[in-house]
Amino acid sequence: MTDPAPEIKAADTAPREGLLGAVFDSREAIATGETVTLTPEQAHSRKRRGQWMALALIAFVILVFVLTMTKMGAQILVRDL
């Protein structure tokens, strides 16, 4: 069986300066094979957070639609084709 995390050479571990270091020195994407098991409270919180995010997205889409229709006005329906 192969190791899920690739070997990191010593030269790769030296931190870079500035923006390059912030972008390319992140180790978050390396697969470690670890899994996370959520507690029932955490799962419930995640579900509620997702529901609120969906509600906020729907409200934003409706707001943009209403503002667009308001800016266009009723004359958008009376036009020559």
Residue 1 lies in a domain: no
* Residue (of 53, 52, 27, 49) closest to 38 by Cα position: 49
- The pTM score is 0.52
53: containing domain: 10-77
Is 30 domain-assigned? yes
Q: Which H, E and C letters describe 21-60, residue by residue?
A: HHHHCCCCCCCCCCCCCCCHHHHHHHHHHHHHHHHHHHHH
Structurally, the chain folds into a number of domains equal to: 1
Q: Who wins on pLDDT, 48 or 76?
A: 48
Residue 20 lies in a domain: yes
The pLDDT tens digits for 11-23 are 556 667 778 777 7
